[in-house]
A and B are shown apart, each in its own frame.
Chain A
Amino acid sequence: MPPAAAPARRVARPVPAPPPRVLVAVRELPDSGLVVRMSRGQLWIGVLGALLAGIVALNVVSLSLGTSAGRLSPRIERLARENSALRADLAQRLATPRVQAEAARLGLIVPGTDEIGYLSSRDGDAAAAAQRLAAGLLGASLPAELVAGGGSAPATSTSAAPTAPVAPTAPSGGGASPPPADGGGGGGAGGVGA
């Protein structure tokens, strides 16, 4: 009887390492029920189409806004230029020499200093004025054309008696007065006159 064969040695086979979880997830993705359902549904096509249309629309709107802003820009510049020209024109029309010449043409004159009276303010005057103003009485004594025109009487043109003595009117023309009693030019060494 032959000796019993030794039992065959069982060779240990290496166990392959399991693939990374991410890879497994990616591999299994096409078989995912959700993906299968989504990719089969026609709605998905509509969603993608809408997204693409949205992107295009956004670009169109942006371009359109840029164009209209570009169209507005020269208009703004033109208006700014017109504004500056109008301001300069207004300033020229309101120039003091022009206004005074026009006033003179209309027969308006600057009152002489002796034609203007001044009132000394007293305690309570401001309160009284405020009351009259509130009651709408302040303009009552003004000429109708001033009230109607929204004008106001100059503060210095009140009709009260002047507080200073009033000298006879004497036009103070530039240089038209006669020479003074005293004159110069003859000092001994380069005389200095009055």
Chain B
Amino acid sequence: MRLIERRIGLLFAVFCVLLAAVFARAFWLQAVRGGELQAEASAQQTRSVVVPGHRGRILDRRGKELAVSEDAASVFATPYQVKDPAAAAAQLAPALGVPAAVLRQKLSKRETGFAYLARKVDLAAAERVRRLDIDGIGVLPDSHRVYPQGELAAQVIGAVGIDNQGLSGLESGYESELHATDGQRKVTRDALGQTIEAKTVRGERTGDELTLTLDAAIQDRTEKALAEIGGQYAPAGATAIVMDPRNASILAMANWPPVNPSELTNVSQADLQNRATGFTYEPGSTFKSFTVAAALQDGIVGPDTSFYLPPEIKVADRTIGEAHPRGAESLTVSQILAQSSNVGAVTVGLKLGAERFDPWIRRFGFGRQTGIGFPAEERGIVPSLRDYSGSTMGNLPIGQGLSVTPVQMAAGYAAIANGGTLRAPRLVTELDDDPIEMPRGRRVLSTRTARKVLTMLEGVLAPGGTASEVTVPGYELAGKTGTSEKAINGVYSKTRFVASFVGFAPARKPRLLVAIVVDEPKGDIYGGSVAAPAFGEIAGFALPYLRIPPD
């Protein structure tokens, strides 16, 4: 009996020792070496995977995609881990389409811990690299921006950089909305490398979607019209804006020369600029409409008020003549506008007076940003009343001595076309399906005055007007031509001009406004012959396309 008890005691003691050993080992592994072993296991079994978030899409008003993001990959190297740089470069070169010499150079920098071999390669190329299974070569998920419409509205949409950040245009202006956030996933693998668990550490966030007021079809036709101007007159640049004057929604905003947003390496800053908001110029005769509108609204003149106009008019030390010399004659205000008389417009301006004229320039929105929300929008230059010289009122009424942007002119003319309300032009209509509230307009003219100016502007496209050659069959048109000399180093050039035209259709109840500005056309210089025909072409397409019936 005692022997049995002794054996049981011995067995108990052995078990106690074994248990103590197990506990000691467990303590050693979990408490003493726990952190180290956990890190090693984690490195072997789990992997952190970046899930790239996609930048928000940019759509036209009919939902056509103007900019989208697509999955891509970037191939990188850890040079000191690459055993044979020359062999690796030779293997990678055909897969990546990069010269082997370039890759070898990058891989040979052994002191470097990280080097990109190719950015934003397509997924098929990335898969080819993965299959090569070269030590020290890895693939990172990425995304790249695609512009499905090619060059369409390239300067307006803008471009993104290598890290998907907006560099210009709306891509830059709406960076915070379009920007995406990458996600992170933790993947656990078994000994065979098979995924046994995938946990989302941080979900990826797609950028907000931007819906524009632009219409791809009208934009395309507008760009074609500018391309014809470009081909015929080889200007330094040209821009056109197509707008619905009722709500100042921009249906097209085109620039010439065109640029390819996917290939910006050799594009100059000037060509990348959206001239509609960034180009400043002296508007010339297109400004006369505002002079006349101001005088009409203040009751200084009426459409039929007649002035006896000499061939030239002297204001302080300046003598202003007509574009085409003529003898002294009497012209009504309507005729002054239709024939674009410099002497007549200055006479109306002088009758209005500097103190009354100056606030009118600002009331129409000149000298400040229109509120379109486009990055780097220019304000133009409008002299303050205290800076007026004796001859200023000989310049301003005919659109000299101040600079404006094409979009300011379009907005000002839209106010005339819609019955007198100045509205901020609209380029973005929805942000992630949430409609952006249309800014309230500001009445600058009475409906009656706006109607009178509009009627007068019909004369510009009527026989005897400065754009009488332009027609759109079935429609009455209105508009104003402009040809201004460029000021170079403070002197008006006799060889460099800006030709422009702003037109509406249908004339009595405008639903379409087109503004065209051509910088330094060659061969011909006049707004009526260089810019106005493009209005006819654009309106001839857009009116039936938008199902706008004639008056």
Chain B residues with a Cβ closer than 8 Å to the other chain, count: 99
Let me know if A9 is at the binding interface, CB within 8 A: no
Bound complex: CA A110 to CA B190 (Å): 63
Among B22-30, B82-90, B171-179, B528-536, the stretch in contact with A: B528-536
Which chain B residues numbered 12 to 27 have a C-beta less than 8 Å away from chain A? none
Known: A67-B194, A173-B533, A175-B533. A185 touches B525 (CB 8 A): yes
Bound complex: CA A169 to CA B216 (Å): 26
Q: Are B197 and A66 in contact (CB under 8 A)?
A: yes
Interface of B, helix, strand, loop or mixed by DSSP: mixed
What residues of B have a CB within 8 angstroms of the CB of A114 in the complex? 473-474
Which chain B residues numbered 424 to 471 have a C-beta less than 8 Å away from chain A? 464, 466-471
Q: Are B195 and A187 in contact (CB under 8 A)?
A: no
What residues of B have a CB within 8 angstroms of the CB of A165 in the complex? 474, 550
| A167–chain B nearest beta-carbon distance, Å | 4
Known: A73-B195, A97-B149. A177 touches B540 (CB 8 A): no
The contact of A116 among B224, B470, B544, B551, by CB within 8 Å, is B544
Most-contacted residue by chain B among A63, A94, A185, A191 (CB, 10 A): A191
Among B98-106, B225-233, B412-420, the stretch in contact with A: B225-233
Let me know if A183 is at the binding interface, CB within 8 A: yes
Known A-B contacts: A178-B529, A179-B526. Give 10 more (CB < 8 A).
A69-B197, A69-B198, A71-B194, A97-B152, A110-B545, A174-B533, A182-B526, A185-B323, A186-B323, A194-B285
Please give me the residue from chain B that is nearest to A169 by CB atom. Answer: B473
Known: A165-B474, A177-B469, A184-B285. A192 touches B319 (CB 8 A): no
Which chain A residues numbered 73 to 109 have a C-beta less than 8 Å away from chain B? 73-74, 77, 80-81, 84-85, 87-88, 91-92, 94-97, 100
Known: A70-B198, A91-B148, A95-B152. A192 touches B285 (CB 8 A): yes
Bound complex: CA A162 to CA B549 (Å): 9
Let me know if B271 is at the binding interface, CB within 8 A: no
Chain B 510-525, CB-CB to A under 8 Å as 1, else 0, gives 0000000000000011
Q: Are A172 and B481 in contact (CB under 8 A)?
A: no
Q: Are B322 and A96 in contact (CB under 8 A)?
A: no
Q: Are A194 and B537 in contact (CB under 8 A)?
A: no
The contact of B483 among A66, A71, A172, A194, by CB within 8 Å, is A194
Q: Are A168 and B473 in contact (CB under 8 A)?
A: yes
What residues of B have a CB within 8 angstroms of the CB of A184 in the complex? 284-285, 323-324, 340, 483, 525-526
Please give me the residue from chain B that is nearest to A178 by CB atom. Answer: B469
The contact of A164 among B149, B282, B549, by CB within 8 Å, is B549
Bound complex: CA A167 to CA B470 (Å): 12
Chain A residues with a Cβ closer than 8 Å to the other chain, count: 63
Interface of A, helix, strand, loop or mixed by DSSP: loop
Q: Are A177 and B470 in contact (CB under 8 A)?
A: yes
What residues of A have a CB within 8 angstroms of the CB of B470 in the complex? 172, 177
Chain B 54-93, CB-CB to A under 8 Å as 1, else 0, gives 1000000000110011110000000000000000000000
Q: Are B540 and A172 in contact (CB under 8 A)?
A: yes
Let me know if B208 is at the binding interface, CB within 8 A: no
The contact of A194 among B217, B233, B340, B550, by CB within 8 Å, is B340
Q: Are B233 and A175 in contact (CB under 8 A)?
A: yes
Bound complex: CA A67 to CA B530 (Å): 69
Most-contacted residue by chain B among A111, A178, A184 (CB, 10 A): A184
Q: Are A172 and B320 in contact (CB under 8 A)?
A: no
Let me know if B321 is at the binding interface, CB within 8 A: yes
Q: Are A190 and B492 in contact (CB under 8 A)?
A: yes
Chain A 48-80, CB-CB to B under 8 Å as 1, else 0, gives 000000000000000100110111011001001
| A111–chain B nearest beta-carbon distance, Å | 7
What residues of A have a CB within 8 angstroms of the CB of B113 in the complex? none
The contact of B474 among A94, A110, A162, by CB within 8 Å, is A162
What residues of B have a CB within 8 angstroms of the CB of A96 in the complex? 64, 149, 152, 216-217, 219-220
Q: Are A192 and B544 in contact (CB under 8 A)?
A: no
Let me know if B278 is at the binding interface, CB within 8 A: no
Please give me the residue from chain A that is nearest to B287 by CB atom. Answer: A192
The contact of A191 among B51, B216, B323, by CB within 8 Å, is B323
